[in-house]
């Protein structure tokens, strides 16, 4: 992409450093986008197909900050001897993701060095984490295929900022059930695609961009 820069970053979290990356144009403005990736055991990292498609589409308009959760990629881990699967399997079995939420909150806080305000996007598990870290600098929140049947999305229902929910019609991994009826935010369903949006990433990204650009 012409005039698009891709810079590797390191962000200091509460317990370890986090790998991050910034995609931006040479004329980036004061508002950015932060993307929370999916679960690490489900291809959840900054190289994820949906995360990358979103970043490449949105960085034309905003600087885009991507990051890896702890123990993923080049991010550190409080227990470096544990393989990624074992570390995250323990988190799943405990049901306590407060450390991940704290890491993500640190990413948002650190982002103030780059831009004064931001749009926040959470894909799958990232939607669960993202809804909990919204700050006064967050201008909108986009939840893509949120796992409504697996986690508590009460914070999403109560967000005081514009929020959009995007579902996949053939999503067998996180079917649209659970708390969907409690959410008053606009909901868009992309037809004939699954949770991973294979070969539909650009369509999804254009939809997200259109939604965010109305809040300029």
pLDDT digits (tens, 9 = 90+) for 149-172: 899 999 998 999 999 999 999 999
Show me where the domains of the chain are located: 4-213
Check: CATH 3.40.50.1820 for 4-213? yes
Mean pLDDT of the chain: 94
> Greatest CA span in the chain, whole angstroms?
46
pTM of the entire structure? 0.96
Q: Enter the DSSP assignment of 144.
A: E
d(C-alpha 33, C-alpha 1), whole Å: 18
The reported pLDDT for the residue numbered 128 is 97
Beta-bridge partners for 7: 22
d(C-alpha 71, C-alpha 185), whole Å: 33
Burial status of residue 162 (CB atoms within 10 A of its CB: 0-12, 13-18, 19 or more): middle
Query: pLDDT tens digit string along 171-182?
Result: 998 877 666 777
- What is the pairing mode between strands 17-25 and 4-12? antiparallel
Residues with Cβ within 8 Å of 178's Cβ and at least 6 positions away in sequence, in order, are: 148, 149, 150, 153
Residues with Cβ within 8 Å of 116's Cβ and at least 6 positions away in sequence, in order, are: 30, 31, 137
């Amino acid at each position: 992409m012409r005039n698009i820069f891709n810079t590797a970053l390191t962000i200091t979290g509460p317990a370890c450093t986090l790998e991050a990356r910034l995609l931006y144009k040479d004329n980036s403005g004061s508002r950015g986008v932060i993307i929370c990736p999916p679960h690490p055991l489900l291809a959840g990292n900054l190289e994820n197909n949906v995360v990358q498609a979103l970043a490449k589409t949105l960085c034309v308009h905003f600087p885009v900050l991507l990051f890896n959760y702890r123990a993923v990629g080049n991010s550190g881990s409080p227990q470096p001897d544990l393989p990624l699967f074992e570390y995250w399997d323990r988190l799943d079995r405990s049901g306590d993701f407060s450390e991940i939420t704290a890491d993500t909150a640190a990413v948002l806080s650190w982002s103030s060095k780059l831009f004064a305000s931001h749009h926040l996007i959470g894909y799958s598990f990232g939607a669960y984490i993202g809804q909990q870290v919204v700050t006064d600098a967050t201008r909108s929140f986009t939840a893509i295929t949120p796992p409504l049947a697996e986690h508590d999305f009460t914070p999403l229902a109560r967000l005081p900022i514009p929020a959009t929910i995007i579902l996949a019609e053939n999503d067998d991994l996180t079917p649209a059930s659970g708390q969907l009826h409690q959410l008053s935010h606009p909901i868009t369903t992309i037809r004939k695609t699954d949770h991973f949006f294979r070969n539909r990433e650009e369509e999804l990204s254009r939809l997200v961009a259109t939604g965010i650009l109305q809040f300029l």
